Chains A and B, each alone.
Chain A
Amino acid sequence: ETGVTQSPTHLIKTRGQQVTLRCSSQSGHNTVSWYQQALGQGPQFIFQYYREEENGRGNFPPRFSGLQFPNYSSELNVNALELDDSALYLCASSPEGTRPETQYFGPGTRLLVL
């Protein structure tokens, strides 16, 4: 049990729509990262937030955006959905005082784009 929760668990959208995925971490986990895991592949880093500021970004277009809130929750927003956005989206948080690379993952949100 990592204390990281994600909602919703499953989601179906159509191409062109927008989606917001949510993540809630434990108190004191002020670093949160988001990953995309396509079927049969390893997770790919999307971006990371530290104390509500973006702290690094992977090779994803600007239509992937995020927010982090003071209550240790965060959001991943994806605009203009494409079929290839279908994947498991994982958030991961890191407690204060640990290396950002040590991340505790939530169960994920499975997004299907039709």
Chain B
Amino acid sequence: AQSVTQPDIHITVSEGASLELRCNYSYGATPYLFWYVQSPGQGLQLLLKYFSGDTLVQGIKGFEAEFKRSQSSFNLRKPSVHWSDAAEYFCAVGSNDYKLSFGAGTTVTVRA
């Protein structure tokens, strides 16, 4: 069965500082990996996705993620955080059985 672990429940970062959110997955074959962002009271917005090919994936809003098969990880990064990046971030893994499995999420707080 596929599963996702996001080790950090809550991260606080200063505006302008870099951000890295950790994601570890468990899946027997090549996974499809996703990062979503959810602002309070909103649905989920897709930031980026990895299916195959280049292991460094660029997404929207200046985010990128790197797939590391040896570490079963798909960490999300942003070089310089803006106050509007405060939200909850979810890592998800998908497969050929059509469903997404999500982690529990990481809440990001941005301080001025």
Contacts and interface: CB of A to CB of B under 8 A. Distances in A.
B51 interface: yes
Interface string B91-112: 0101101111111110000000
A56 B97 contact: yes
Nearest to B41: A107
The B contact surface, by secondary structure, is strand
Interface string B43-82: 1111001010000000000000000000000000000000
Interface in B19-63: 32, 34, 36, 41-46, 49, 51
Interface residues of B, number: 25
Contact of B90 (A40, A42, A99, A108): A42
Contact of A56 (B98, B101, B102): B98
Nearest to A44: B102
A4 B98 CA distance: 19
Nearest to B99: A45
Contacts of B43: 2, 4, 6, 90, 105-108
A52 to B, nearest CB: 16
B44 A56 contact: no
Contacts, number: 65
- Which residue, of B34, B45, B97, B98, has the highest number of chain A Cβ atoms within 10 A? B98
Interface in A57-110: 58, 90, 92, 99-108
Given A101-B94, A102-B49, A45 B32 contact: no
25 contacts: A2-B43, A33-B98, A33-B99, A33-B100, A40-B104, A42-B4, A42-B90, A42-B92, A42-B103, A44-B102, A45-B100, A48-B98, A58-B99, A90-B43, A92-B44, A100-B94, A100-B98, A101-B34, A101-B94, A101-B98, A102-B49, A103-B46, A103-B100, A105-B45, A108-B43
Interface of B: 4, 32, 34, 36, 41-46, 49, 51, 90, 92, 94-95, 97-105
